[in-house]
Structure 1
Amino acid sequence: MSVRRIAQSLVRPFILSLTAFAVVPAAHAASCGNTGAGFDAWKREFAAEAQRAGVRQPGLNALAQARYATSTISADRNQKSFRYSLPKFMQIRGADTIVAQGRKRKAASPAFYQALERQYGVPAGVLIAIHGMETAFGSFMGNTSVVSAITTLTYDCRRSAFFQPHAIGALMLVDQGAITGATQGAKHGELGHTQFLPGNALRYGIDANGDGRVDFYNQTDALASTANYLRSKGWQPGQGYQEGQPNFAVIKEWNAATVYQQAIAIMGARIDG
Protein backbone atom coordinates (compact mmCIF):
# COMPACT_ATOMS: atom_id res chain seq x y z
CA MET A 1 0.00 0.00 0.00
CA SER A 2 1.24 3.49 -0.80
CA VAL A 3 1.99 5.92 1.99
CA ARG A 4 -0.50 8.33 0.43
CA ARG A 5 -3.30 5.78 0.70
CA ILE A 6 -2.42 5.09 4.33
CA ALA A 7 -2.45 8.78 5.14
CA GLN A 8 -5.81 9.26 3.43
CA SER A 9 -7.36 6.25 5.10
CA LEU A 10 -6.39 7.43 8.57
CA VAL A 11 -9.21 9.94 8.50
CA ARG A 12 -11.86 7.25 8.02
CA PRO A 13 -12.58 5.67 11.39
CA PHE A 14 -14.35 2.35 11.18
CA ILE A 15 -17.84 2.75 12.66
CA LEU A 16 -18.20 0.33 15.55
CA SER A 17 -21.10 -0.34 17.88
CA LEU A 18 -20.83 1.24 21.31
CA THR A 19 -23.61 -0.81 22.85
CA ALA A 20 -21.00 -2.96 24.57
CA PHE A 21 -20.95 -0.32 27.22
CA ALA A 22 -24.65 -0.51 28.02
CA VAL A 23 -25.14 -0.83 31.74
CA VAL A 24 -26.64 -4.16 32.78
CA PRO A 25 -28.76 -3.86 35.93
CA ALA A 26 -26.99 -5.31 38.95
CA ALA A 27 -30.04 -7.43 39.77
CA HIS A 28 -29.41 -9.46 36.62
CA ALA A 29 -25.62 -9.82 36.99
CA ALA A 30 -24.31 -13.36 36.67
CA SER A 31 -22.76 -14.83 39.81
CA CYS A 32 -18.96 -14.75 39.96
CA GLY A 33 -16.72 -17.56 41.21
CA ASN A 34 -13.15 -18.20 42.29
CA THR A 35 -12.67 -21.64 40.76
CA GLY A 36 -13.55 -23.15 37.42
CA ALA A 37 -16.34 -25.25 38.93
CA GLY A 38 -19.11 -22.75 38.23
CA PHE A 39 -17.88 -21.38 34.92
CA ASP A 40 -20.30 -23.26 32.66
CA ALA A 41 -23.29 -22.23 34.75
CA TRP A 42 -22.02 -18.64 34.77
CA LYS A 43 -21.72 -18.63 30.97
CA ARG A 44 -25.39 -19.51 30.65
CA GLU A 45 -26.30 -16.63 32.98
CA PHE A 46 -23.94 -14.23 31.25
CA ALA A 47 -25.38 -15.13 27.85
CA ALA A 48 -28.63 -13.48 28.90
CA GLU A 49 -26.75 -10.32 29.90
CA ALA A 50 -24.87 -10.37 26.61
CA GLN A 51 -28.09 -10.66 24.63
CA ARG A 52 -29.58 -7.69 26.46
CA ALA A 53 -26.45 -5.70 25.63
CA GLY A 54 -26.90 -6.48 21.92
CA VAL A 55 -24.65 -9.51 21.35
CA ARG A 56 -25.88 -11.64 18.47
CA GLN A 57 -25.66 -15.35 17.76
CA PRO A 58 -22.01 -15.54 16.60
CA GLY A 59 -20.89 -13.89 19.84
CA LEU A 60 -23.18 -16.09 21.91
CA ASN A 61 -21.74 -19.16 20.20
CA ALA A 62 -18.22 -18.00 21.05
CA LEU A 63 -19.26 -17.51 24.67
CA ALA A 64 -20.74 -21.02 24.81
CA GLN A 65 -17.46 -22.46 23.51
CA ALA A 66 -15.22 -20.49 25.89
CA ARG A 67 -13.15 -22.48 28.37
CA TYR A 68 -12.08 -21.53 31.87
CA ALA A 69 -8.55 -20.15 31.37
CA THR A 70 -6.45 -21.36 34.30
CA SER A 71 -3.34 -19.75 32.83
CA THR A 72 -5.13 -16.40 32.82
CA ILE A 73 -6.02 -16.70 36.51
CA SER A 74 -2.43 -17.64 37.31
CA ALA A 75 -1.11 -14.62 35.38
CA ASP A 76 -3.62 -12.31 37.05
CA ARG A 77 -2.42 -13.40 40.48
CA ASN A 78 1.29 -13.04 39.67
CA GLN A 79 2.00 -9.71 37.92
CA LYS A 80 5.40 -9.34 39.52
CA SER A 81 7.15 -7.18 36.96
CA PHE A 82 5.11 -4.10 37.83
CA ARG A 83 6.52 -4.23 41.37
CA TYR A 84 10.10 -3.74 40.20
CA SER A 85 12.03 -0.48 40.36
CA LEU A 86 12.07 1.52 37.13
CA PRO A 87 15.67 0.54 36.20
CA LYS A 88 14.92 -3.15 36.86
CA PHE A 89 11.63 -3.00 34.95
CA MET A 90 13.30 -1.40 31.93
CA GLN A 91 16.07 -3.96 32.06
CA ILE A 92 13.79 -7.01 32.13
CA ARG A 93 11.49 -5.55 29.48
CA GLY A 94 14.41 -4.88 27.13
CA ALA A 95 14.15 -1.09 26.91
CA ASP A 96 17.49 -0.62 25.13
CA THR A 97 16.51 -3.14 22.46
CA ILE A 98 13.09 -1.52 22.02
CA VAL A 99 14.71 1.89 21.57
CA ALA A 100 17.32 0.62 19.09
CA GLN A 101 14.77 -1.27 17.00
CA GLY A 102 12.26 1.54 17.39
CA ARG A 103 14.63 4.09 15.87
CA LYS A 104 15.13 1.80 12.89
CA ARG A 105 11.40 1.33 12.45
CA LYS A 106 10.78 5.06 12.55
CA ALA A 107 13.54 5.70 10.03
CA ALA A 108 12.20 2.99 7.72
CA SER A 109 8.62 4.37 7.64
CA PRO A 110 8.82 8.11 8.35
CA ALA A 111 5.80 9.07 6.21
CA PHE A 112 3.57 6.58 8.02
CA TYR A 113 4.40 7.89 11.48
CA GLN A 114 4.20 11.49 10.28
CA ALA A 115 0.70 10.78 8.94
CA LEU A 116 -0.34 9.37 12.31
CA GLU A 117 1.02 12.39 14.14
CA ARG A 118 -0.72 14.81 11.77
CA GLN A 119 -4.03 13.03 12.29
CA TYR A 120 -3.89 12.29 16.02
CA GLY A 121 -1.07 14.43 17.41
CA VAL A 122 0.76 11.49 18.99
CA PRO A 123 4.51 11.32 18.25
CA ALA A 124 6.06 8.24 16.70
CA GLY A 125 8.21 7.52 19.76
CA VAL A 126 5.23 6.92 22.03
CA LEU A 127 3.45 4.62 19.57
CA ILE A 128 6.62 2.71 18.79
CA ALA A 129 7.50 2.34 22.49
CA ILE A 130 4.05 0.91 23.21
CA HIS A 131 4.31 -1.44 20.22
CA GLY A 132 7.71 -2.65 21.37
CA MET A 133 6.72 -3.01 25.00
CA GLU A 134 3.47 -4.84 24.33
CA THR A 135 4.42 -7.41 21.68
CA ALA A 136 8.07 -6.85 20.70
CA PHE A 137 6.75 -5.20 17.52
CA GLY A 138 4.26 -7.93 16.80
CA SER A 139 6.63 -10.86 17.24
CA PHE A 140 4.47 -12.34 20.02
CA MET A 141 0.83 -11.33 20.37
CA GLY A 142 -0.23 -14.03 22.79
CA ASN A 143 -1.25 -17.68 22.91
CA THR A 144 -4.52 -17.58 24.85
CA SER A 145 -8.04 -17.43 23.44
CA VAL A 146 -9.19 -13.82 23.76
CA VAL A 147 -12.79 -14.83 24.45
CA SER A 148 -11.85 -17.50 26.99
CA ALA A 149 -9.44 -15.19 28.80
CA ILE A 150 -11.75 -12.19 29.04
CA THR A 151 -14.80 -14.20 30.05
CA THR A 152 -12.76 -16.04 32.68
CA LEU A 153 -11.71 -12.71 34.19
CA THR A 154 -15.30 -11.48 34.12
CA TYR A 155 -16.45 -14.64 35.90
CA ASP A 156 -13.61 -14.41 38.45
CA CYS A 157 -14.72 -12.47 41.53
CA ARG A 158 -11.58 -10.35 41.87
CA ARG A 159 -12.33 -7.77 39.14
CA SER A 160 -15.61 -8.80 37.55
CA ALA A 161 -16.96 -5.29 37.10
CA PHE A 162 -13.82 -4.06 35.34
CA PHE A 163 -13.73 -6.89 32.81
CA GLN A 164 -17.47 -7.20 32.13
CA PRO A 165 -17.65 -4.50 29.39
CA HIS A 166 -14.56 -6.01 27.78
CA ALA A 167 -16.21 -9.44 27.70
CA ILE A 168 -19.27 -7.91 26.00
CA GLY A 169 -16.88 -6.08 23.68
CA ALA A 170 -15.11 -9.30 22.74
CA LEU A 171 -18.40 -10.99 21.87
CA MET A 172 -19.42 -8.00 19.76
CA LEU A 173 -16.09 -8.14 17.95
CA VAL A 174 -16.94 -11.76 17.13
CA ASP A 175 -20.33 -10.60 15.82
CA GLN A 176 -18.59 -8.09 13.56
CA GLY A 177 -16.05 -10.60 12.27
CA ALA A 178 -13.09 -8.71 13.74
CA ILE A 179 -12.10 -11.78 15.79
CA THR A 180 -13.36 -15.33 16.27
CA GLY A 181 -13.69 -17.49 19.34
CA ALA A 182 -10.31 -18.99 18.45
CA THR A 183 -8.41 -15.71 18.07
CA GLN A 184 -5.42 -15.66 20.38
CA GLY A 185 -4.14 -12.80 22.49
CA ALA A 186 -2.51 -12.14 25.83
CA LYS A 187 -3.39 -13.74 29.15
CA HIS A 188 -5.78 -10.91 30.11
CA GLY A 189 -7.62 -11.00 26.80
CA GLU A 190 -5.64 -8.18 25.17
CA LEU A 191 -5.41 -8.52 21.42
CA GLY A 192 -3.28 -7.48 18.48
CA HIS A 193 -0.04 -5.58 17.98
CA THR A 194 -0.56 -3.18 20.88
CA GLN A 195 -2.73 -5.41 23.07
CA PHE A 196 -6.08 -3.66 23.21
CA LEU A 197 -8.62 -4.86 25.74
CA PRO A 198 -11.66 -5.88 23.68
CA GLY A 199 -14.00 -3.13 24.89
CA ASN A 200 -11.42 -0.53 23.94
CA ALA A 201 -10.84 -2.26 20.62
CA LEU A 202 -14.55 -2.01 19.89
CA ARG A 203 -14.73 1.67 20.82
CA TYR A 204 -11.47 3.04 19.40
CA GLY A 205 -10.65 0.74 16.48
CA ILE A 206 -9.63 2.40 13.20
CA ASP A 207 -9.61 0.91 9.71
CA ALA A 208 -6.42 2.68 8.68
CA ASN A 209 -5.51 0.57 5.66
CA GLY A 210 -8.91 1.06 4.04
CA ASP A 211 -9.85 -2.60 3.62
CA GLY A 212 -13.25 -2.17 5.27
CA ARG A 213 -12.50 -3.86 8.58
CA VAL A 214 -10.58 -3.16 11.75
CA ASP A 215 -7.83 -5.75 12.21
CA PHE A 216 -5.73 -5.37 15.34
CA TYR A 217 -3.39 -8.02 13.99
CA ASN A 218 -2.59 -5.65 11.13
CA GLN A 219 0.12 -3.18 12.18
CA THR A 220 -1.36 -0.21 10.32
CA ASP A 221 -4.79 -0.60 11.91
CA ALA A 222 -3.33 -1.33 15.33
CA LEU A 223 -1.06 1.71 15.50
CA ALA A 224 -3.72 4.06 14.15
CA SER A 225 -6.15 2.68 16.72
CA THR A 226 -3.59 3.23 19.47
CA ALA A 227 -3.09 6.82 18.37
CA ASN A 228 -6.87 7.30 18.22
CA TYR A 229 -7.23 5.91 21.75
CA LEU A 230 -4.60 8.27 23.16
CA ARG A 231 -6.06 11.29 21.38
CA SER A 232 -9.55 10.36 22.57
CA LYS A 233 -8.24 10.15 26.14
CA GLY A 234 -7.00 13.74 25.97
CA TRP A 235 -3.63 13.75 24.18
CA GLN A 236 -2.64 17.35 23.47
CA PRO A 237 -0.74 17.69 20.18
CA GLY A 238 2.61 19.41 20.57
CA GLN A 239 2.70 19.05 24.36
CA GLY A 240 5.27 17.01 26.27
CA TYR A 241 4.70 13.51 27.60
CA GLN A 242 7.34 13.17 30.33
CA GLU A 243 6.37 13.08 34.02
CA GLY A 244 4.88 16.41 35.01
CA GLN A 245 3.99 17.31 31.42
CA PRO A 246 0.41 17.37 30.08
CA ASN A 247 0.44 14.15 28.08
CA PHE A 248 1.95 11.94 30.76
CA ALA A 249 -1.53 11.69 32.26
CA VAL A 250 -2.74 10.20 28.98
CA ILE A 251 -0.10 7.47 29.09
CA LYS A 252 -1.62 6.54 32.45
CA GLU A 253 -4.84 5.81 30.58
CA TRP A 254 -3.04 3.12 28.59
CA ASN A 255 -1.61 1.26 31.58
CA ALA A 256 -2.14 1.79 35.30
CA ALA A 257 1.35 0.70 36.40
CA THR A 258 3.64 3.64 37.24
CA VAL A 259 6.81 1.91 36.05
CA TYR A 260 5.15 1.12 32.72
CA GLN A 261 4.10 4.74 32.26
CA GLN A 262 7.59 5.99 33.11
CA ALA A 263 9.21 3.47 30.78
CA ILE A 264 7.01 4.44 27.82
CA ALA A 265 7.77 8.14 28.35
CA ILE A 266 11.52 7.54 28.58
CA MET A 267 11.70 5.15 25.63
CA GLY A 268 9.46 7.36 23.52
CA ALA A 269 11.74 10.34 24.04
CA ARG A 270 14.81 8.29 23.17
CA ILE A 271 13.18 6.98 19.99
CA ASP A 272 12.05 10.46 18.97
CA GLY A 273 15.60 11.64 19.58
Structure 2
Amino acid sequence: MPSRVIKSLFFALLTGLYAAPALSAPCGNTSAGFAAWKTAFVTEARSAGVGQKGLAALKGAQYATKTIWADRNQKSFKYSLEKFMQVRGADTIVALGRKRKARNPAFYTSLEKHYGVPAGVLLAIHGMETAFGNFMGDSNVISAITTLAYDCRRSDFFTPHALAALKLVDEGAISAGSIGAKHGELGHTQFLPGNILRYGVDGNGDGRVDLTNETDALASTAHYLNKKGWKRGKGFQQGQPNFEVIKEWNAAGVYQKAIAIMGAGIDR
Protein backbone atom coordinates (compact mmCIF):
# COMPACT_ATOMS: atom_id res chain seq x y z
CA MET A 1 0.00 0.00 0.00
CA PRO A 2 1.45 3.42 -0.97
CA SER A 3 2.71 5.47 1.97
CA ARG A 4 0.46 8.37 1.08
CA VAL A 5 -2.61 6.09 1.39
CA ILE A 6 -1.41 4.82 4.77
CA LYS A 7 -0.93 8.41 5.93
CA SER A 8 -4.42 9.31 4.69
CA LEU A 9 -6.00 6.39 6.53
CA PHE A 10 -4.10 7.22 9.71
CA PHE A 11 -5.18 10.85 9.51
CA ALA A 12 -8.82 9.83 8.96
CA LEU A 13 -8.71 7.47 11.94
CA LEU A 14 -7.08 10.07 14.16
CA THR A 15 -9.58 12.73 13.11
CA GLY A 16 -12.44 10.34 13.78
CA LEU A 17 -11.20 9.59 17.26
CA TYR A 18 -10.88 13.22 18.23
CA ALA A 19 -14.19 14.14 16.60
CA ALA A 20 -16.10 11.39 18.40
CA PRO A 21 -18.58 12.65 21.00
CA ALA A 22 -17.79 12.19 24.68
CA LEU A 23 -19.21 9.04 26.20
CA SER A 24 -22.50 9.60 27.99
CA ALA A 25 -22.49 9.58 31.77
CA PRO A 26 -23.47 6.07 32.98
CA CYS A 27 -27.07 5.70 34.13
CA GLY A 28 -28.18 3.97 37.32
CA ASN A 29 -31.28 2.65 39.06
CA THR A 30 -30.59 3.73 42.64
CA SER A 31 -29.29 6.84 44.36
CA ALA A 32 -25.89 5.20 44.88
CA GLY A 33 -24.40 6.31 41.58
CA PHE A 34 -25.99 9.74 41.28
CA ALA A 35 -23.02 11.75 42.58
CA ALA A 36 -20.63 9.99 40.19
CA TRP A 37 -23.10 10.49 37.34
CA LYS A 38 -23.23 14.25 38.04
CA THR A 39 -19.45 14.46 37.88
CA ALA A 40 -19.42 12.67 34.53
CA PHE A 41 -22.39 14.69 33.25
CA VAL A 42 -20.46 17.93 33.72
CA THR A 43 -18.36 17.03 30.66
CA GLU A 44 -21.47 16.30 28.62
CA ALA A 45 -23.09 19.54 29.78
CA ARG A 46 -20.06 21.64 28.91
CA SER A 47 -19.93 20.07 25.46
CA ALA A 48 -23.59 21.00 25.00
CA GLY A 49 -22.85 24.64 25.83
CA VAL A 50 -23.98 24.81 29.45
CA GLY A 51 -22.29 27.66 31.32
CA GLN A 52 -21.18 28.24 34.87
CA LYS A 53 -24.62 28.99 36.35
CA GLY A 54 -26.03 25.84 34.85
CA LEU A 55 -23.09 23.77 36.04
CA ALA A 56 -23.48 25.17 39.54
CA ALA A 57 -27.14 24.15 39.47
CA LEU A 58 -26.11 20.66 38.37
CA LYS A 59 -23.63 20.44 41.24
CA GLY A 60 -26.37 21.29 43.72
CA ALA A 61 -28.90 18.79 42.35
CA GLN A 62 -30.11 16.10 44.75
CA TYR A 63 -31.36 12.62 43.90
CA ALA A 64 -35.15 13.04 43.75
CA THR A 65 -36.59 9.97 45.47
CA LYS A 66 -40.18 11.21 45.13
CA THR A 67 -39.68 11.69 41.39
CA ILE A 68 -38.52 8.10 40.99
CA TRP A 69 -41.45 6.83 43.05
CA ALA A 70 -43.89 8.84 40.90
CA ASP A 71 -42.28 7.59 37.71
CA ARG A 72 -42.56 3.97 38.84
CA ASN A 73 -46.18 4.28 40.00
CA GLN A 74 -48.15 6.03 37.27
CA LYS A 75 -51.53 4.39 37.75
CA SER A 76 -53.99 6.83 36.22
CA PHE A 77 -53.06 5.98 32.64
CA LYS A 78 -54.21 2.40 33.25
CA TYR A 79 -57.75 3.59 33.98
CA SER A 80 -60.63 3.34 31.56
CA LEU A 81 -61.57 6.65 29.92
CA GLU A 82 -64.65 6.91 32.13
CA LYS A 83 -62.63 6.34 35.30
CA PHE A 84 -59.87 8.71 34.16
CA MET A 85 -62.37 11.50 33.43
CA GLN A 86 -63.95 10.98 36.85
CA VAL A 87 -60.63 10.99 38.70
CA ARG A 88 -59.39 14.07 36.88
CA GLY A 89 -62.62 15.99 37.50
CA ALA A 90 -63.65 16.46 33.87
CA ASP A 91 -67.02 18.06 34.62
CA THR A 92 -65.37 20.65 36.86
CA ILE A 93 -62.68 21.41 34.29
CA VAL A 94 -65.31 21.94 31.59
CA ALA A 95 -67.43 24.19 33.82
CA LEU A 96 -64.47 26.29 34.97
CA GLY A 97 -63.04 26.35 31.46
CA ARG A 98 -66.25 27.87 30.10
CA LYS A 99 -66.19 30.53 32.82
CA ARG A 100 -62.56 31.42 32.13
CA LYS A 101 -63.22 31.67 28.41
CA ALA A 102 -66.25 33.91 29.03
CA ARG A 103 -64.22 36.20 31.33
CA ASN A 104 -61.52 36.85 28.76
CA PRO A 105 -62.85 36.01 25.28
CA ALA A 106 -60.56 38.47 23.49
CA PHE A 107 -57.46 36.73 24.80
CA TYR A 108 -58.51 33.28 23.60
CA THR A 109 -59.74 34.70 20.29
CA SER A 110 -56.34 36.31 19.75
CA LEU A 111 -54.56 33.02 20.42
CA GLU A 112 -56.79 31.16 17.99
CA LYS A 113 -56.35 33.88 15.38
CA HIS A 114 -52.57 33.71 15.70
CA TYR A 115 -51.98 29.97 16.20
CA GLY A 116 -55.20 28.35 15.00
CA VAL A 117 -55.81 26.47 18.27
CA PRO A 118 -59.29 26.94 19.83
CA ALA A 119 -59.82 28.00 23.42
CA GLY A 120 -61.37 24.70 24.49
CA VAL A 121 -58.23 22.70 23.80
CA LEU A 122 -55.96 25.17 25.61
CA LEU A 123 -58.29 25.39 28.59
CA ALA A 124 -58.68 21.61 28.78
CA ILE A 125 -54.90 21.26 28.90
CA HIS A 126 -54.61 24.07 31.46
CA GLY A 127 -57.25 22.46 33.66
CA MET A 128 -55.83 18.96 33.33
CA GLU A 129 -52.22 19.92 33.95
CA THR A 130 -52.45 22.28 36.92
CA ALA A 131 -56.14 22.91 37.75
CA PHE A 132 -55.78 26.26 35.95
CA GLY A 133 -52.56 27.16 37.72
CA ASN A 134 -53.66 26.24 41.23
CA PHE A 135 -51.00 23.57 41.60
CA MET A 136 -47.87 23.77 39.46
CA GLY A 137 -45.79 21.28 41.41
CA ASP A 138 -43.77 20.84 44.58
CA SER A 139 -40.45 19.48 43.29
CA ASN A 140 -37.11 21.08 42.54
CA VAL A 141 -36.95 21.13 38.75
CA ILE A 142 -33.18 20.64 38.41
CA SER A 143 -33.11 17.76 40.88
CA ALA A 144 -36.12 16.08 39.27
CA ILE A 145 -34.97 16.34 35.67
CA THR A 146 -31.36 15.35 36.36
CA THR A 147 -32.55 12.37 38.41
CA LEU A 148 -34.62 11.22 35.44
CA ALA A 149 -31.69 11.77 33.09
CA TYR A 150 -29.55 9.60 35.38
CA ASP A 151 -32.19 6.91 35.84
CA CYS A 152 -31.76 4.09 33.31
CA ARG A 153 -35.48 3.72 32.66
CA ARG A 154 -35.77 6.71 30.29
CA SER A 155 -32.37 8.32 30.32
CA ASP A 156 -32.29 8.92 26.55
CA PHE A 157 -35.56 10.85 26.70
CA PHE A 158 -34.77 13.01 29.73
CA THR A 159 -31.09 13.80 29.10
CA PRO A 160 -31.83 16.53 26.48
CA HIS A 161 -34.38 18.04 28.86
CA ALA A 162 -31.82 18.03 31.68
CA LEU A 163 -29.35 19.88 29.46
CA ALA A 164 -32.09 22.31 28.46
CA ALA A 165 -32.93 22.98 32.12
CA LEU A 166 -29.31 23.85 32.84
CA LYS A 167 -29.28 26.20 29.84
CA LEU A 168 -32.45 27.85 31.13
CA VAL A 169 -30.61 28.51 34.38
CA ASP A 170 -27.78 30.10 32.39
CA GLU A 171 -30.30 32.34 30.63
CA GLY A 172 -32.03 33.33 33.86
CA ALA A 173 -35.35 31.87 32.68
CA ILE A 174 -35.38 29.59 35.73
CA SER A 175 -33.16 29.24 38.79
CA ALA A 176 -31.49 26.38 40.59
CA GLY A 177 -34.37 26.57 43.06
CA SER A 178 -37.27 26.64 40.59
CA ILE A 179 -40.21 24.45 41.54
CA GLY A 180 -42.26 22.33 39.16
CA ALA A 181 -43.80 18.90 38.79
CA LYS A 182 -42.14 15.64 39.73
CA HIS A 183 -40.96 14.99 36.17
CA GLY A 184 -39.39 18.42 35.85
CA GLU A 185 -42.30 20.09 34.05
CA LEU A 186 -42.80 23.80 34.63
CA GLY A 187 -45.60 26.30 34.72
CA HIS A 188 -49.32 26.49 34.05
CA THR A 189 -49.34 23.83 31.34
CA GLN A 190 -46.32 21.86 32.52
CA PHE A 191 -43.70 22.23 29.81
CA LEU A 192 -40.59 20.09 29.93
CA PRO A 193 -37.42 22.26 29.82
CA GLY A 194 -36.48 21.30 26.26
CA ASN A 195 -39.92 22.37 25.07
CA ILE A 196 -39.55 25.71 26.83
CA LEU A 197 -36.36 26.36 24.89
CA ARG A 198 -37.91 25.31 21.61
CA TYR A 199 -41.52 26.47 21.85
CA GLY A 200 -41.65 29.01 24.68
CA VAL A 201 -43.30 32.33 23.77
CA ASP A 202 -43.22 35.74 25.45
CA GLY A 203 -46.98 36.14 25.38
CA ASN A 204 -47.25 39.23 27.59
CA GLY A 205 -44.43 41.17 25.92
CA ASP A 206 -42.26 41.68 29.00
CA GLY A 207 -39.13 40.45 27.23
CA ARG A 208 -38.87 37.01 28.85
CA VAL A 209 -40.49 33.61 28.59
CA ASP A 210 -41.96 32.66 31.94
CA LEU A 211 -44.20 29.59 32.00
CA THR A 212 -45.39 30.47 35.52
CA ASN A 213 -47.08 33.46 33.84
CA GLU A 214 -50.48 32.38 32.50
CA THR A 215 -50.30 34.45 29.33
CA ASP A 216 -46.86 33.14 28.40
CA ALA A 217 -47.89 29.57 29.22
CA LEU A 218 -51.05 29.54 27.13
CA ALA A 219 -49.38 31.31 24.21
CA SER A 220 -46.55 28.77 24.41
CA THR A 221 -49.03 25.89 24.47
CA ALA A 222 -50.80 27.22 21.39
CA HIS A 223 -47.43 27.74 19.68
CA TYR A 224 -46.38 24.17 20.53
CA LEU A 225 -49.53 22.67 19.03
CA ASN A 226 -49.24 24.93 16.00
CA LYS A 227 -45.68 23.80 15.34
CA LYS A 228 -46.69 20.18 15.78
CA GLY A 229 -49.02 20.57 12.81
CA TRP A 230 -52.34 21.96 14.08
CA LYS A 231 -54.68 22.51 11.13
CA ARG A 232 -56.66 25.70 11.49
CA GLY A 233 -60.41 25.17 11.50
CA LYS A 234 -60.22 21.37 11.47
CA GLY A 235 -61.69 19.05 14.10
CA PHE A 236 -59.80 17.58 17.04
CA GLN A 237 -61.87 14.56 18.03
CA GLN A 238 -60.74 10.99 17.39
CA GLY A 239 -60.44 10.38 13.65
CA GLN A 240 -60.17 14.09 12.88
CA PRO A 241 -56.93 15.78 11.73
CA ASN A 242 -56.02 17.62 14.91
CA PHE A 243 -56.42 14.62 17.19
CA GLU A 244 -53.07 13.52 15.80
CA VAL A 245 -51.60 16.77 17.10
CA ILE A 246 -53.15 16.29 20.54
CA LYS A 247 -51.21 13.00 20.65
CA GLU A 248 -48.04 15.10 20.58
CA TRP A 249 -48.98 16.67 23.91
CA ASN A 250 -49.21 13.45 25.90
CA ALA A 251 -48.42 9.87 24.98
CA ALA A 252 -51.27 8.31 26.97
CA GLY A 253 -54.35 7.52 24.89
CA VAL A 254 -56.73 8.13 27.77
CA TYR A 255 -55.22 11.59 28.31
CA GLN A 256 -55.51 12.45 24.61
CA LYS A 257 -59.18 11.46 24.50
CA ALA A 258 -59.90 13.45 27.67
CA ILE A 259 -58.41 16.62 26.20
CA ALA A 260 -60.50 16.22 23.05
CA ILE A 261 -63.74 15.58 24.93
CA MET A 262 -63.25 18.36 27.47
CA GLY A 263 -62.09 20.79 24.79
CA ALA A 264 -65.29 20.24 22.84
CA GLY A 265 -67.33 20.65 26.02
CA ILE A 266 -65.69 23.98 26.84
CA ASP A 267 -66.18 25.36 23.33
CA ARG A 268 -69.79 24.18 23.09
Shared fold (TM-score, shorter chain, > 0.5): yes
Distance of 1:203 and 1:260 partners within structure 2: 23
Structure 2: 5+ residue stretches without partners: 1-18
- Deviation of the 1:47 alpha carbon: 1.1
Distance of 1:234 and 1:250 partners within structure 2: 6
- Say which structure, 1 or 2, has more relative contact order (CA 8 Å, 6+ apart): 1
Distance of 1:117 and 1:196 partners within structure 2: 20
Q: How many residues align?
A: 250
User: Is residue 167 of structure 1 aligned with residue 162 of structure 2?
Assistant: yes
What is the match of residue 143 of structure 1? Answer: 138
2:74 to 64, 76, 79: 79
Distance of 1:137 and 1:47 partners within structure 2: 36
What is the match of residue 246 of structure 1? Answer: 241
Distance of 2:236 and 2:20 partners within structure 1: 39
Equivalent pairs: percent with the same residue?
72
User: Is residue 132 of structure 1 aligned with residue 132 of structure 2?
Assistant: no
Runs ≥4 in structure 1, deviation > 6 angstroms? none
- Deviation of the 1:28 alpha carbon: 1.3
User: Is residue 272 of structure 1 aligned with residue 267 of structure 2?
Assistant: yes
Residues 80-229 of structure 1: pairs in structure 2 closer than 5 A: 80-229=75-224
CA RMSD of aligned residues (A): 1.0
Instruction: State the TM-score, normalizing by the size of structure 2.
Output: 0.92
1:262 to 230, 254, 257: 257
Deviations, residues 148-180 of structure 1 (Å, cap 9, x unaligned)? 000000000000000011001101111111111
Structure showing greater radius of gyration is 2
- Deviation of the 1:25 alpha carbon: 6.2
In 2 relative to 1, CA 84–25 (structure 1 residues): closer, same or farther, beyond 3 Å? farther
User: Is residue 43 of structure 1 aligned with residue 38 of structure 2?
Assistant: yes
- Deviation of the 1:26 alpha carbon: 6.4
Instruction: State the TM-score, normalizing by the size of structure 1.
Output: 0.90
Structure 1: 5+ residue stretches without partners: 1-23
- Deviation of the 1:27 alpha carbon: 5.1
In 2 relative to 1, CA 25–161 (structure 1 residues): closer, same or farther, beyond 3 Å? farther
Retained in 1: the 8 A contact 2:141–2:179?
yes
Distance of 1:110 and 1:47 partners within structure 2: 47
